[in-house]
A and B are shown apart, each in its own frame.
Chain A
């Protein structure tokens, strides 16, 4: 046991006090929480801590090992950057949600058992939804509802898998699981949904671009990366993930090229980057897992930087589409510079962070003689440079002049972007500290002549392709449109389901209302008042007698109530008999 406080508790309990504090103290308090959590993490030795016995189970809230520590570090670092970026937001809902969400991610990272894992998993799903809802537009409301529905479905699969797993193994502790039965498949689907593995991915590009400017920073960092962490822990070496990951890297490129919304382009590139990580987990060698973990670390930073820079543009101009933007480098030079650093990092330019992490995964595929996969990853590398590396900065800050004249975002936003940019360059120039905290010993040198020249060739030819496509007029026009993705199926299926349920259940409801609530009580009421008359008139109707004859019969018949015993009398007699029987048999009188 340790005297230190769990990082997840620092965030979750700390979040509750945010609405109670005002002014500068609140800002200092919000910045203090991730710093405190980070210091706690640094002090933690490896082992299992914060074990709480509930019923017959021992819940482990602190499984500290090299794998969980890397994700713990980066989640607290990005929380600090995200909070700094959102420091002047006056909406407490966003602050509390962001801290609860980040606390959930830390809880997932350090959970050593399935029960606490599931609790934190759902905390993440719920509070991340508020970061989408908080934008308070019609589009964000719709996206948030779809987001939570999809995640609740994933959560249910996950829960079903966990229950089956506990039933099969008799333990709630987990480590490597592997795909070997229904329980593992359900757990796999639950994690895969959060990792945005196709065809379960559309929630990501649907929801993230609709989130608040500051919320998107947290969203881009936490949900998919906590799923990457869990995949790396539970399904490392699963061959299926190699091919899923390779597909994930390639498919979003085509959507990203067509997309007009800049934040949606980044959402597609996020899926592309998680694809690299899935591929690394599938390969499962030490080099591949190191590559996956380091790439997750770097990706969180440069993706957050990209979301912050385009978020700043949205914050200052109110616009986020390629068709509306352009020429902003004149009035937002620093934001443009930070965006370029993020773009260079995601494209894996030498001296930018992606170069020292992504290449480990690509090299691992090469070492394992996965030639087709290697080729797809190279294609995807060129593709991500094309859309996230060139398209995003080009159409936002350069390209045609939109005529928008604005100014740089507030200082706290610039500072947050500056810190992220510093990490992006610092990790690339000096990758040693990052390599030192990876799960396995690193024997990898990123800066070899062949690697630098090869990567530069790839990127320069990618830039040439983009330039020629633009100049020759073959580049697809940017237009305001909705690109159909696999969400088409569940959106259509959901409409069909709604239609069927509307017709079937509402039909059943009105039928029940008419017959059970209206006709039946009227009939039973009539029967109870005049039972003989009612039965005779029923049989007369059945026998085909006309209404005149029936009315004559009713008139001639005297009211039956005068000859009937009140209902209470037989009930009283029955109760008395039952009580006597009780005395005789139960008490053996």
Chain B
């Protein structure tokens, strides 16, 4: 096991969590609109 890493974590880059939430919100809103439009 020597020389082999047990874990490789991905540290957040400052500011990108906010971008992630915004994109998620936009994507969910877009898909929601398409879904709702199918009933109209």
Q: Give the interface of A toward B (CB within 8 A).
A: 319, 321-324, 395, 400, 461, 464, 468-475, 477-480
Contacts and interface: CB of A to CB of B under 8 A. Distances in A.
Contacts of A461: 27
Interface string B7-20: 11111110011011
Nearest to B24: A468
B33 interface: no
Contact of B6 (A469, A475, A480): A480
Contacts of A478: 7-9
Interface in B1-40: 4-13, 16-17, 19-20, 23, 27
B20 A479 contact: no
B12 A477 contact: no
A119 to B, nearest CB: 44
A472 B7 contact: no
A473 B8 contact: no
Nearest to A467: B16
A470 B16 CA distance: 9
21 contacts: A322-B8, A323-B4, A323-B5, A323-B7, A324-B5, A461-B27, A468-B16, A468-B20, A471-B13, A471-B19, A472-B12, A472-B20, A473-B10, A473-B13, A474-B17, A477-B8, A477-B9, A478-B9, A479-B7, A480-B4, A480-B5
Contacts of B4: 319, 321, 323-324, 480
A266 to B, nearest CB: 18
Contacts of B16: 468, 471-473
A468 B7 contact: no
Nearest to A319: B4
Nearest to A479: B7
A439 B12 CA distance: 51
A477 B17 contact: no
Given A468-B20, A472-B19, A323 B6 contact: yes
Identify which of B8, B9, B10, B16 gathers the most chain A CB atoms within 10 Å of its CB: B8
Given A470-B10, A473-B12, 13 more contacts: A322-B8, A323-B4, A324-B4, A468-B23, A471-B12, A471-B19, A472-B20, A473-B11, A473-B16, A474-B12, A477-B7, A477-B8, A479-B7
Contact of B7 (A319, A475, A480): A480
B22 to A, nearest CB: 10
A472 B17 contact: yes
B10 A477 contact: yes
A478 B9 CA distance: 6
Nearest to A321: B4
B21 to A, nearest CB: 8
Contacts of B23: 464, 468
B25 to A, nearest CB: 12
A38 B17 CA distance: 55
Nearest to B27: A461
Contact of B20 (A395, A474, A480): A474
Contact of B8 (A400, A469, A474): A400
Nearest to A326: B8
Contacts of B9: 477-478
Contacts of A319: 4
Contacts of B7: 323, 477-480
Contacts of A480: 4-7
A473 B20 CA distance: 10
A480 B20 CA distance: 27
B4 to A, nearest CB: 5
Given A324-B4, A324-B5, A475 B10 contact: yes
A465 to B, nearest CB: 8
B16 to A, nearest CB: 4
A444 B32 CA distance: 32
A477 B10 CA distance: 6
Contacts of A474: 12, 17, 20
A395 B4 CA distance: 15
B19 to A, nearest CB: 6
